[in-house]
Amino acid sequence: MRTLAARDILAVWEAGLERQPVERALVALERALPDLPRERLARLPLGQRDRLLLELRAQLFGDALSASTRCPSCSEALELPLSVAEICGQDTPGDGQSSAFRLESDGLEIRFRLPNSEDEEEAARQPDPEAGRAVLLERCIARARDGKRVVPAGQLPEAAAAALAARMAELDPLAELSFSLTCPNCGQEWDEVLDPAAYLWAEIAAAAQHLLAEVHMLAQAYGWREADVLALSASRRNQYLELVGS
């Protein structure tokens, strides 16, 4: 994974402005991993993709993640001190293993692969979350049999569909990062989900806005082009900004 310079951050931000969340994640990874074609990135299991996003986040902004939420019962504010290294310590499936899984449940033999970005994008187009989950399972099931009878993916018994979803989560734990929380004020317990793609995009957007403000100030002060400003290291830009403000 290559280091993203200031100009790369602006390029990722600009390219992702009019795109959907899944596409934004792939834009960032394409920039950081130029040797991997977009098609291959899009077909990585979600946990593997999100591990790469978290590693990119640590490279750009550091290991510590600062997330905040509110208790759904009393609205108490909570901070979630998280670590990229700790999160990425969980196992994810190796590249190329996403179509080699088998499950027996409720008398059915199900062969399936793990969801990827293409599946997630298609699920996001559905009118509601339930329909999205159904599409995700249908796309990932290669075959379901009850003896010799083929069972259409959309007709899986509820127990088998639940077992399949649980098995997918077990095989790819980083695909949905959920944290169990307890409110120190009222004792309410709930699960909070962290979306690495959304988290990283928010930070890239904030960094891009900050960079644009720096370019604006230094261009006004010295008449430099955007490329000239972005070519400076962060420490040198900061030094010039201090001189401008003094």
Distance CA 154, CA 40 (A): 27
Total structural domains within the chain:
2
Domain of residue 139: give its range.
101-171
Distance CA 134, CA 174 (A): 20
Pair 34, 106 in one domain: no
Q: Is 95 within the bounds of a domain?
A: no
The pair of three-digit structure tokens given for residue 119, joined into one six-digit string: 């599946």
In 190-221, which positions are buried (b, 16+ CB within 10 angstroms) versus exposed (e)? eeeebebbebbbeebbebbeebeebbebbeee
Q: Are 144 and 151 in contact (CB under 8 A)?
A: yes
Pair 196, 134 in one domain: no
pLDDT of residue 99: 63
Distance CA 206, CA 197 (A): 14
Pair 54, 115 in one domain: no
Q: Is 135 within the bounds of a domain?
A: yes
Q: Which long-range contacts (CB under 8 A, 24 or more apart) does 218-223 make?
A: 218/244
Pair 152, 218 in one domain: no
pLDDT of residue 91: 62
CA distances from 177 to 90, 108, 185, 193 (A): 11, 29, 24, 6
Pair 61, 110 in one domain: no
Which residue, 137, 171, 205, sits at the end of a domain?
171
Per residue of the chain (246 residues), give pLDDT as tens: 998 999 999 999 999 999 999 999 999 999 999 999 999 999 999 999 999 999 999 999 999 998 889 999 999 999 888 999 999 886 666 544 456 899 999 889 999 999 999 999 999 999 998 899 889 989 999 999 998 899 998 889 999 999 999 999 999 999 999 999 999 999 999 999 999 999 999 999 999 999 999 999 999 999 999 999 999 999 999 999 999 987
Pair 48, 76 in one domain: yes
Pair 135, 74 in one domain: no
Q: Is 86 within the bounds of a domain?
A: yes
Q: Is 14 within the bounds of a domain?
A: yes
> Angle formed by the axes of helices 196-222 and 46-61, to 10°?
30
In 231-242, which positions are buried (b, 16+ CB within 10 angstroms) versus exposed (e)? ebeeeebeebee
Write the Ramachandran bin of 196: left for phi over 0, alpha for psi from -120 to 50, otherwise beta: alpha
Pair 44, 165 in one domain: no
Q: Are 54 and 87 in contact (CB under 8 A)?
A: yes
pLDDT of residue 96: 45
Pair 10, 86 in one domain: yes
Pair 86, 110 in one domain: no
Q: Are 185 and 72 in contact (CB under 8 A)?
A: no
pLDDT of residue 153: 87
Pair 85, 188 in one domain: yes
